[in-house]
Amino acid sequence: MCAVVAWSISTTRPPIFGFAPYNPVLGETHHVSTSAGLNVLLEQVSHRPPVTALHATHARGEVELVWCQSPAPRFHGASVEAAVRGARELRLPRHAETYAVGCPGLVIRLLPSPGCEWAGDVRVSCAESGLEAALSYRRSRRSFLGLGGGDARCVRGRVFRSAAPDDTLCEVDGFWDRQVSLRDVATGEVSVLYDARQTIADLATPVVQDRKGVSASESAVVWAEVSAAILNKDWEAARQAKRRVEETARRLAKERNERGEVWTPSHFSLWQNKHGDWECWPLEDSVPPAPIVVPSPS
């Protein structure tokens, strides 16, 4: 459970406010592999509302991930809160365990000073082990273990047994963009659960190893002109290129509507459950190796 909690925290990245994002277009994909054998495939399976699906499998069958996420914005006058709906399921076949992993929401402040941060409560649960974790992403002056000073990127929580929710086994505390500690309640021992700086420093830039294998829907292809303009710091060219991508997507949607066609995802099935939330499931049992590879840290 603690390793899964660390991984969950590691998926949090500092949001950037004030820059026009790469808004995924319908059918856009990203297919990438790691040198360790994890093959990942994402697809934008819906545009309105925006829904993103992810499927990842390990070459040796050690890990499988299935995600389906959609932001649900709520306006609060001086801020906007975007709750991330949908399930993140992590399977570890070797341990015969399946984890349901939540995600914090994104709070965009408009006044008095613009900015955005991750905030909210996150639950991680595993029925097979009978363990759960409750995490809280909050703005905080100080951590309750006395680690660090005031900061907006605080995460704290605990690990407990589902059958005894008041029986805390471990306490989690720290800052998700730096270091998070784990304290064993029984022994009092404190250890490093997650070190963001070390983890991010070890990340390598993905490399295209098979240009012919890159799909036309691949993000790197769809946004190639935008990325090139940004790297050249030609902001006007970037805006124009972004506008062309979005206009093409709108034109294709209009043409489908005129023909009475219903767009369907290429790699996932998609439906709404009885609560109105979107769910997805991969059409294939595993993800093949990708033409884009993240090399091992040097």
Inter-CA distances, 186 with 46, 137, 168, 190, Å? 47, 25, 9, 11
CA distances from 11 to 196, 215, 287 (A): 10, 25, 20
221 domain residue, yes or no: no
The predicted structure's pLDDT at residue 149: 44
**Residue 180 forms part of a structural domain:** yes
In a domain, 18, yes or no: yes
Alpha-carbon dihedral angle through residues 182, 186, 189, 192, given to the nearest 10 degrees: -10
For the entire predicted model, the pTM comes to 0.90
Residue 149 domain flag = yes
How much is the pLDDT for 116? 87
Establish if 92 belongs to a structural domain. yes
User: Which residues are paired to 123 by β-bridges?
Assistant: 134
Q: What proportion of the chain, given as a percentage, has pLDDT over 70?
A: 94
Q: What domain range is 128 assigned to? A: 2-28+69-201
Residue 268 token pair: 């996932």
Letter string b/e over residues 176-206, b meaning 16 or more CB atoms within 10 A of that residue's CB: bbebbbbbeeeeeeeeebbbbeeeeeeeeeb
Preceding amide of 50 cis, omega within 30:
no
Residue 216 in any domain: the answer is no
Contact 288, 39 (CB under 8 A): yes
Helix (H, G, I), strand (E, B), or coil: what is residue 234? coil
Number of domains in the chain: 1
Report the CATH number at residue 157.
2.40.160.120
**pLDDT at residue 200, as a whole number:** 86
Instruction: Please indicate, yes or no, if residue 260 is contained in any of the structural domains.
Output: no
**Domain contains 103:** yes
Burial bucket for residue 247 (CB in 10 Å: 0-12, 13-18, 19+): exposed
Q: What is the pLDDT along the chain (298 residues), one digit of tens a residue?
A: 999 999 999 999 888 776 666 889 999 999 999 999 999 999 999 998 999 999 999 999 999 999 999 999 899 888 899 999 987 999 999 999 999 999 999 998 888 888 889 999 999 999 999 999 999 998 754 444 444 445 679 999 999 999 999 999 999 999 999 999 999 999 999 999 999 999 888 888 999 999 999 999 999 999 999 999 999 999 999 999 999 999 999 999 999 999 999 999 999 999 999 988 899 999 999 999 999 999 987 6
Residue 217 structure tokens: 């829907």
Are 137 and 176 in contact by the 8 Å Cβ rule? The answer is: yes
